[in-house]
Amino acid sequence: MLFGRDLALDETHLAVLQTAVKIPDLPPWATLVGHAHRLATTDNVALTKTSLSIGYLGSEVPPGEEPFLRIHHWNEKTEAWQQLPTTLVMASNNAVAAIQEQGLYALLSSTEIMLQGAGWHAFGYPVSEPPTRTIADALASLPDGAFTLVYGYTPTLETDPWQVYAPGAPAGFNTLQELRFGQGYFIHTTGGPLKARRSLPSLLPPLVRSLVSPPALITGTIEPGSSFSPTAGLTLTAWIKGRACGDGSTLVMTNGISYIGYSVMVRAADEDPWSGCGVPGAVITFSLESPALALSAPTPVTWNNSQATAVTLTVATAKQSNPEEPSACANLLRNGDFEQAGDWTLTTTDSTARYTTAEVHAGSRALQLGLLPNGSPGSHPAVPTLSTAYQDVRLPANAQKLTLTLWVKPGTRDSSGDYQHLAILNPSNSGMIAELWRKLENQNDWQQLSFDLTAYRGRAVRVYLEVRNDNQRLGDRTWMFVDDISLSNCRTP
């Protein structure tokens, strides 16, 4: 229906508003409510101060989208639907918009969400029909250049939980192809506020510290050397201060022509178990596993997860280990000599593990677990209790040899029920991966334990130390001292 303060229609001033049978394609984020309408007038009719009212049935509106109904006009010049400022009267099921020209009009439904400011935003994809939609369609309402990266995160995929989409990336690069109903994602926007339609309900803009930070994305090509030519399927490792912080690979990419490129995600330090990895400004170095080659960049590459960083790498020199490693082995555990506080999680119990100077293998401190004999300095009342300490670590997928080594001095006054324990667990649910050692021993001297963990490469693991006291017999206490624990990632010449 048309309303106009100056609209005067008669036998010579005509306006016709009729249902449109065929209309141009709608934006992927929009649903047509009711029918589109075509307005035609004679040349002598001026549509100044004129409004168009479109009624609708509540049953025609997708659930939850009535507040976002807007009248749109088809712009013949730009061949695009243009949203008009719309007054919505939900009590009478009417939408009203001021118009100034004849043409095609439609009432479209969507979900509008504001993304406030530049930075990372967490969101869940809310559209159930269809349950999946390509990234290009789902983000079509955002203008060009409005975002730099989208990440999907699936924590149950231990070896590679992140999938990425970068706009404009060459074919073969993006691993995130679609958004799925009910799944969570991260998007990095370049400015704001932005209005995202039927796609991005922002949970916490910008992304808060309590959520995991997305990795930095490094991509580019590797220049051939005198005795090296890149091929698809090579494993590339990113290092920060001697710690492997991400594995990537070379792959075939297409951008007009096919070529061999690479991509690697360098994990953030606040993502468990990547402590010591990416923080803004941290310098990243690179190496190939096989052939064993160090790679160099023309300028220092620093960690930045706000956009994909393009780097052309060249072969440096043949290597036996990562150039930042002091030897052929790198220790993946932090503070393994317990000389400082931190890195280990000491669970609070009636026998909370703690650092001690009373018994050490080397240096000035070690780790104490369990209940010391009654009357000993630092002893606790006898109660049923567990004493635990653990550290989470990612085992590199390209490791050639992974060895867990530690020194222990176990002690007990018990004969059964209690135990000293070492295991590797799943960090996500504390499920048992492998029980490495379980004893009830009383030793006067330190003993070294060593375990091959190469079979678990590519997985995140929790190195877990535990002493159990069941307190079935008064005074039957069990304890253990631990020192100089390492998880060596060694490379053979």
Residue 132 has pLDDT above 80, yes or no: yes
Q: Which two tokens stand for residue 289?
A: 């596993």
Q: Using one digit for the tens of pLDDT, what is the confidence trace for 221-264?
A: 999 877 888 999 998 888 887 778 888 899 998 877 888 999 99
CB atoms within 10 A of CB 206: 16
Q: Which residue has the tokens 């104490």?
A: 368
Q: How far is the CA of 366 from the CAs of 226, 341, 419, in angstroms? A: 50, 11, 19
CA separation for the pair 48, 440 (Å, rounded): 92
So what's the pLDDT on residue 323? 41
So what's the pLDDT on residue 210? 42
**Stretch 173-194: mean pLDDT:** 83
Helix (H, G, I), strand (E, B) or coil at 138: helix
Residue type, 471: N
Q: Which residue has the tokens 């953030």?
A: 268
Contacts of 257 (CB under 8 A, 6+ apart): none
Residue 311 has pLDDT above 90, yes or no: yes
Contact between 285 and 264 (Cβ < 8 Å):
no
So what's the pLDDT on residue 81? 92
Rg of the chain taking only CA atoms, in angstroms: 32
Residue 398 has pLDDT above 80, yes or no: no
So what's the pLDDT on residue 445? 93
Q: Using one digit for the tens of pLDDT, what is the confidence trace for 81-121?
A: 999 999 999 999 999 999 989 999 999 988 766 666 788 88
**Stretch 324-346: mean pLDDT:** 79
Label residue 290 exposed, middle or buried (CB < 10 Å: 0-12, 13-18, 19+): exposed
Contact between 102 and 41 (Cβ < 8 Å):
yes
Q: Which residues pair with 373 in a beta bridge?
A: none
| pTM tops 0.85 | no
What is the pLDDT confidence band of residue 375, given thresholds at 50, 70 and 90?
A: low
Q: What is the dihedral of CA 405, 410, 416, 419, to 10 degrees?
A: -40
DSSP string, 23-38: -PPPPTT-EE-S--EE
Q: Using one digit for the tens of pLDDT, what is the confidence trace for 426-485?
A: 887 789 999 999 999 999 899 999 999 999 987 888 999 999 998 877 678 999 999 999
Q: Which two tokens stand for residue 287?
A: 């190496």
Residue type, 321: S
CA separation for the pair 52, 190 (Å, rounded): 36
